[in-house]
Each structure stands twice: as C-alpha cells, then as structure tokens.
Amino acid sequence: MKKREFIVQDLLSKIYQEEFKDGKLPNQRKLAEIYHVSRFTIQQAIKNLEEIGIVRVVQGSGIFIHEKWVKNPLIFNSLTRTPYDRIDSKMIGLKKAAATADEQKIFQLDEGAEVWTFERIRIVDYKIEQLEISKMPVALFPDLSQEVVEHSIQKYVEQKGYRISHYITSYDPITTSKDQSKILLCKRGTPAMQITNRAILEDGQVYEYSSIIAIDYSVTYIRPFDREIHRSRID
C-alpha cells in the first residue's frame, strides 16, 4: 500500500474512533512528523480526505472534520473520490434494439420493448481507467443521446422527473480480455475489477443495468456494525 493510502485509511480510522476530540486534525507539519513522510505526501492525503468530504481545509485555520459525514456509512472508490472536473466520459457506441429475454426480466418489460445499449470509457487525470457497457429502457428515456452519455446519467435521470433510490452492486476480480485491453490501453490479462450495477428508482423500477471493467481500482467501506443482523446470522 502506498504511504498516502495508508495515511488516508489511518486518519479515517482515527476520525471514526473520535481520536480528535476538538474536531480538528493536527496541522500538516505535525502530521508529517507523526507519519515520517514529506509535507507533500501529507498534502496529498489531506486532499483525498477533502475530496471525499470527510474534512475541510480552512486556509490559516486548520483541517476540520465534517461531523455529519462521520455519523453516516461511507463508501468511496478510486473514481468517486476524484472531483468531477478531473473525470471525462467518452462514448464509444449507442444503439437501441428489442430487449432480450434477460433484459425483459431486468427491466420488467413486455416483449417487443426496446432497450438502449451504450458503451463509454471513463478517463481520470487523462488516463483511461474504466470501460462501461450500460443498458436503459427506451420507454423511460426516449431521448438518450451522446451528450447525456458523456456527462452525468444520474443528473439526466433526475432531470427527467425520476427519483433515484439505491444501487445493487457486485464486484468480481477478472483479467482483461484482448478487446478490453485494447480499449483500456493495457496489457492483455491485466488484473481488473468487474463491477455490475442495478440502479433503482423509488418506485422499484430498474432504470439502468451496467457492467464496468475497472483497472487500478480500489474501494473502501466504512459502515456501522449491525448487531441485529449479526445475531440473526449466528443464532
């Protein structure tokens, strides 16, 4: 693990243990002394914490903890921790066709209904990191376009008047195929994470089904211990 990643996770641990009673981290010079690293490494670690919303840096005053975030579950990964202005999406393809039997089940569609399929890459700091293939029902989104695909799908969905409820996500370690490697500009057989998402509206309708191949991927979960679920599993 890189020093910066270790510092981020160690500070997160200390924040959630409420080690910083005054709601404020030590200054960067002190943190550099504690972790035996350069000020630059500390600056990068604090920047990461700031980008995921755990702390805010007030010039001349210090590094303050966002208490409201600490009290909630937190999930962040190597993409969501990056500000939007450093992420670009480029569409590779967009088409619509009659839904397959599986797609009819996923989206609860009648036979003959159509589904959009789009493919795009996600570029982080000028490096291609993800290849995504997504499907969305045409009946809900008749005007899906390249402009939408290359920007925020979530923003588009809510602007259409829908309310997003939650996501069901699964992760499977894979190695990249020849075609995937060509698009991601990596060697064939590069270790990657396949992330499968079902995005669900408040009325229970699945509005998007996606499969993402991500290289250089990491994810961190911070969640409260659910004692009742734990007991039900061991009783």
Tens-digit pLDDT profile for residues 179-198:
999 999 999 999 999 999 99
**Backbone angles phi and psi of 228, in degrees to 5:** -65, -45
- First CA to last CA across the chain, in angstroms? 37
Q: Which of 145, 142, 146, 136 is nearest to 115 (CA)?
A: 136
Grade residue 78 by pLDDT with cuts at 50, 70 and 90. Answer: low
Residue 219 in this model has a pLDDT that exceeds 80: no
**C-alpha to C-alpha distance for 65 and 72, rounded to whole angstroms:** 13
**What's the pLDDT score for residue 82?**
63
Average pLDDT over residues 140-169: 94
**What's the pLDDT score for residue 148?**
96
Question: Tokens at residue 79, please?
Answer: 């993409």
**What does pTM read for this prediction?**
0.71
**Backbone angles phi and psi of 120, in degrees to 5:** -150, 160
Tens of pLDDT, residues 9-61: 888 878 876 788 788 999 999 999 999 999 999 999 998 888 777 888 998 88
